[in-house]
Amino acid sequence: MRVPMPVAPHLPPKVARNLAAMGETGAIWLARLPGLVAGLERRWDIIVGEAMPNATEAYVASATSSQGEPGVLKVPIPGAQKAGRELRVLLAAQGRGYARALQHDPASGSMLLERLGPQLFQLGYPVERQIEAICATLLEARQVSGAGLQLMTGAQKADSMAETVRAVTARFDGACSPRTIEAALRIGQQRRDAFDPATSVIGHGDAHAWNTLQDPKSVGFKFVDPDGLFIEPAHDLSITLREGCNDFLAGDPVERGRERCELLARLTGVDPDPIWQWGLLESLVNGLLYLDVGSPDDAAPFLAVAEAWAAAEPPS
């Protein structure tokens, strides 16, 4: 029997669209959400407030304990693949470099997190200061041990990105040049081969200024929404390359990209070459994913940077 999709004005549009795309599975989850939230309010002695507007794969809302302590309730929607890895990272970190998990419900994957301050991008800092803040937070988060955690490895991340390149370019003929595809697949294999558990760290996977929030209890920042990777430190640094594509295209994208790599290397002590390689992969894959969901205008700057960087790669 088909369950009708309830009207849920309290859900952000992206969450509502993701649920609608799931059909009956999404409808059932949404119908059960009010009861689940009410049960968590009783068990955790909290009052849940307004939903937060930027969520995409979870119901996220403000919460307040009976003692007046602010928090954030997060309930992942069905099929959110990273939800289990996210919880494992947050529990392992215990507030170091990441938002602290105050409560969690294994059955639903729900989490009660500490409430942090504004996102880094909201503070109006210049780009270089944002990068410094992200790097400092990554260095703090890097101290958390990933030993024994079930996370996506660097080899698996490289494989998944290579598969995206193959699959999307097969569907969109001419999405990028053969040289760019060849360079990306070759680099993906190199990063796969470079995976070494002895030098890998817990990786956020998407460490940009929207996932970096001010810590009201210190002068620093903490991360939210980790993808949960066990990977070389260069990968997280490459995200600032991916997010800089529009800036790079305002001049020589290769020169500007290399300058950004050198800055990241100086701030963190990480070799710039793997940062560059992951950055090329991230830019290309992000552009292809935008193309795949019907957003060619959003895809364009990422694909243009990937093309320029691939053209600068020595031939195989």
What CATH number is attached to the domain comprising 103? 3.30.200.20
Quick one: average pLDDT of 143-159?
92
Token reading at 305: 């940077």
Q: Note the pLDDT of residue 9.
A: 42
Q: Note the pLDDT of residue 2.
A: 39
Q: Strands 110-114 and 101-105: what pairing?
A: antiparallel
Quick one: average pLDDT of 100-119?
95
- Please give the Cα distance from 197 to 141 (Å, whole number): 17
In a domain, 163, yes or no: yes
Both 187 and 53 in a single domain? no
SS (H, E, C) 110-170: EEEEECCCCEHHHHCCCHHHHHHHHHHHHHHHCCCCCCCCCCEEHHHHHHHHHHHHHHHHH
Over pLDDT 70: what percentage of the chain?
97
In a domain, 7, yes or no: no
Q: Note the pLDDT of residue 140.
A: 95
The residue among 98, 94, 57, 130 whose CA lies nearest residue 226 is 98
In a domain, 258, yes or no: yes
In a domain, 3, yes or no: no
Can you give the residue range of the structural domain that contains 75?
13-114
Both 46 and 176 in a single domain? no
Both 164 and 264 in a single domain? yes
Where is the domain boundary, 93, 114, 135? Answer: 114
- State how many domains the chain has: 2
Q: What is the pLDDT of residues 239-286, one digit of tens each?
A: 999 999 999 999 999 999 999 999 999 999 999 999 999 999 999 999
222: CATH: 3.90.1200.10
Tell me the sheet residues that pair with 231: 201
Both 110 and 125 in a single domain? no
- Please give the Cα distance from 203 to 234 (Å, whole number): 9
Over pLDDT 90: what percentage of the chain?
81
The residue among 73, 76, 56, 103 whose CA lies nearest residue 206 is 56
Where is the domain boundary, 114, 136, 170? Answer: 114
